[in-house]
A and B are shown apart, each in its own frame.
Chain A
Amino acid sequence: MSVVERIEKLKSEALSALEEAGTTKDLESVRVRYLGRSADLTEIKKSIRDLPADDRKAVGGASNRATKAIEAALTERLAEVAIAEREEKLRAEAVDVTLPGVPYPKGSLHPSLRIIDEVVDFFVGLGYRVAEGPEVETDYYNFTALNIPPGHPARGMQDTFFLDDGLVLRTHTSPVQIRTMLGEEPPVYVVCPGRTYRRDSDPTHTPMFNQIEGLAVDRGLTLGHLKGTLAAMARYVFGEDVRLRLRPSYFQFTEPSVEMDVSCFVCGGSDPNCKVCKGAGWIEMGGAGMVDPAVLSEVGYDHEEYTGFAFGFGPDRMAMVRYGIPDLRLFFEGDLRFLQQF
Chain B
Amino acid sequence: MRVPLSWLREYVDFDLSADELADLFSLRSQEVDGIERFGVLEGEVVVGEVVEFGPHPNADRLNVAKVDLGGQVVQIVAGAPNPYPGARIPVVRPGSVLAGGRKLKKAKLRGMESNGMMMSERELGISAEHSGILLLDDSYEVGRPLSDYFPVGETVLELDINPNRPDLWGMIGVARELAAILATQFRVPEPSFEPAGEPTGVYALRVEAPNLCPRYDLRRVSGGRPGAKAPLEMRRRIHAAGMRPVNAIVDATNYVMLETGQPIHAFDAEKVRGGIVVRRAHPGEKMTMLDGHTRSLDEEMLVIADEERGLVVAGVMGAETAEVGDETTDVLVEVATFVGRNIMETSQRLALRTDASGRFERGLDPNMVDFAMNRVTDLIAEATGGQPAPDTLSHYPEPVGPWQVPLRLSRAERLLGMPVGEADASERLRGLGCGVEPGDGKLSVTVPTFRRDLTREADLIEEVGRLIGLENVPESLPRAPQAGGLTPEQRKLRTLRRLLADLGLHEAVTYPFGPDRWTRALGLGEDGGVPLALRNPLSAEASNLRRSLMPGLLDAAARNRSFGARGGALFEVGHVFEPRHQPEGMREYALRYRMRGEVGLDAEVLPELLMGVGETNKVAGLLAGTVRAAGWNVPPKPAGFFEAKGIVERLVPGATFEPRREPFLHPGRAAAVLVDGEEAGWVGEVHPETADGFGLDGWPVAAFELDLAFADPDPEPRFRPFVNVPSVSMDLAVVVDGDVRVGEMLVEISSLGSPILAETRVFDVYEGSQVPEGKKSVALNFTFQAEETLTDEAVKGELDRISARLRDAFGAEVRRG
Binding site for B on A (CB under 8 A): 99-100, 102-103, 105-110, 112-113, 117, 120, 123-130, 134-136, 138-141, 144-145, 150-151, 153-154, 156-157, 161-167, 169, 187, 189, 195, 199, 201, 207-208, 210, 216, 218, 220-225, 227-229, 231-232, 244-250, 255-259, 290, 292-293, 307, 331-337, 339-340
Contacts and interface: CB of A to CB of B under 8 A. Distances in A.
A100 B163 contact: no
A259 B466 CA distance: 12
A138 B611 contact: yes
Contacts of B574: 195
A130 B555 contact: no
A250 B629 CA distance: 53
B345 interface: yes
B553 A334 contact: yes
B689 interface: no
Given A151-B345, A166-B595, A256-B416, 17 more contacts: A123-B484, A135-B512, A136-B615, A161-B537, A162-B535, A163-B532, A166-B590, A195-B574, A210-B509, A222-B417, A224-B473, A246-B470, A249-B162, A255-B462, A256-B462, A334-B570, A339-B506
A195 B510 CA distance: 10
Contacts of B521: none
A130 B487 contact: yes
Dominant secondary structure at the A interface: mixed
B508 interface: yes
Contacts of B536: 161-162, 199
Contacts of B474: 224, 227-228
Dominant secondary structure at the B interface: mixed
B595 A334 contact: no
B533 A163 contact: yes
Given A136-B577, A335-B563, A336-B560, A161 B534 contact: yes
Interface residues on B, range: 35 or more
Contacts of A259: 31
A276 B164 CA distance: 31
Contact of B613 (A100, A125, A167): A167
Given A113-B497, A256-B458, A334-B552, A144 B503 contact: no
Contact of B511 (A102, A141, A229, A332): A332
12 contacts: A109-B507, A127-B482, A130-B490, A139-B594, A167-B613, A189-B480, A207-B542, A224-B474, A247-B31, A248-B30, A256-B465, A290-B458
Contacts of A124: 484-486
A167 B579 CA distance: 13
A256 B501 CA distance: 42
B507 A223 contact: no
Contacts of B613: 134, 136, 163, 167
A205 to B, nearest CB: 11
Contacts of A129: 482, 484-487
B545 interface: yes
A146 B591 CA distance: 18
Contact of B634 (A102, A227, A335): A102
Contacts of B501: 107-109
B484 A125 contact: yes
Contact of B478 (A125, A130, A221): A221
Contacts of B418: 223-224
B559 interface: yes
B484 A189 contact: yes
B567 to A, nearest CB: 9
B458 to A, nearest CB: 4
Contacts of A336: 506, 560, 565, 568, 570
The 9 A-B residue pairs with the shortest CB-CB distance, nearest first, are A105-B504, A334-B556, A224-B417, A166-B594, A127-B480, A222-B417, A256-B462, A250-B162, A228-B475
